[in-house]
């Protein structure tokens, strides 16, 4: 059984297996990937908005030209001029229709991108539930934190992500101890202190 082994030996083995450098490197890569993804999403949204504004300006220009053409028409014009104006009107109408269809397509694409961005924001940096569960099974830092938590020890990171504070709860005694972890003391020292406290 687990409790039949020497606690000091167990703690030494536990401390010896802790190596947070690969975990910090992995977190750094994840943060870089998230930053790159955010920049790419922002760029695509800006491009879609720019294209939509350009199409709107083209539509306004064509609409103005159409209105000027219509207002310049006189009832005394010859039939050829009427036919030419009708041709221009249909051409402008077709262009406006094409621009409207393109604008609607871009709006739908923009809405899709906004929806995807919203989904990614809801998932957060951890990803969806399945991804988070898989990561927790593979991430040694999370496994170590779970082992500590099962012993009644919560390890808290500071603003830089360094784990330098431990909260030790002893439910049998009703005690709570907060320990600031100083790198000047050995891991063995803290392992003994934690074990005695719990």
Mind listing the pLDDT tens digit for each residue in 30-43?
999 999 999 999 99
Are 171 and 160 in contact by the 8 Å Cβ rule? The answer is no
Can you tell me the distance from the alpha carbon of 110 to that of 24, in angstroms, rounded to the nearest whole number? 36
Can you tell me the distance from the alpha carbon of 147 to that of 24, in angstroms, rounded to the nearest whole number? 19
- Please report which confidence band the pLDDT of residue 59 belongs to, taking 50, 70 and 90 as the band edges: very high
pLDDT of residue 171: 76
pLDDT of residue 1: 45
**Which of 143, 158, 135 lies closest to 27, judged by CA?**
135
Can you tell me the distance from the alpha carbon of 45 to that of 63, in angstroms, rounded to the nearest whole number? 27
Helix (H, G, I), strand (E, B) or coil at 153: strand
Residue range 119-140, pLDDT digits in tens: 888 876 655 566 666 655 566 7
Inter-CA distances, 101 with 55, 97, 107, 127, Å: 10, 6, 10, 35
Least confident interval from 3-7, 27-31, 102-106, 130-134: 130-134
Instruction: Give 46 or 133, the one with higher predicted confidence.
Output: 46
Q: What is the mean pLDDT of the chain?
A: 81
- Please report which confidence band the pLDDT of residue 50 belongs to, taking 50, 70 and 90 as the band edges: very high
């Amino acid at each position: 059984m687990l409790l039949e082994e020497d606690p000091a030996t167990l703690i030494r083995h536990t401390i010896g297996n802790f190596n947070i450098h690969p975990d910090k490197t992995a977190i750094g890569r994840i943060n870089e990937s998230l930053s790159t993804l955010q920049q790419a999403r922002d760029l695509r949204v800006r491009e879609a908005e720019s294209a939509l504004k350009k199409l709107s300006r083209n539509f306004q220009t064509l609409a103005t030209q159409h209105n000027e053409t219509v207002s310049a028409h006189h009832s005394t014009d010859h039939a050829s001029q009427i036919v030419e104006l009708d041709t221009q009107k249909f051409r402008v109408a077709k262009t406006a229709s094409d621009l409207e269809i393109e604008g609607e397509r871009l709006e739908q694409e923009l809405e899709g991108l906004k929806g995807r961005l919203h989904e990614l924001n809801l998932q957060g940096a951890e990803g969806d539930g399945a991804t988070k569960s898989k990561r927790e099974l593979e991430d040694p830092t999370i496994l170590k934190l779970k082992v500590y938590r099962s012993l009644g020890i919560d390890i808290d990171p500071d603003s830089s992500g360094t784990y330098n504070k431990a909260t030790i709860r002893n439910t049998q005694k009703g005690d709570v101890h907060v320990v600031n972890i100083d790198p000047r003391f050995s891991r063995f020292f803290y392992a003994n202190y934690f074990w005695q406290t719990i």
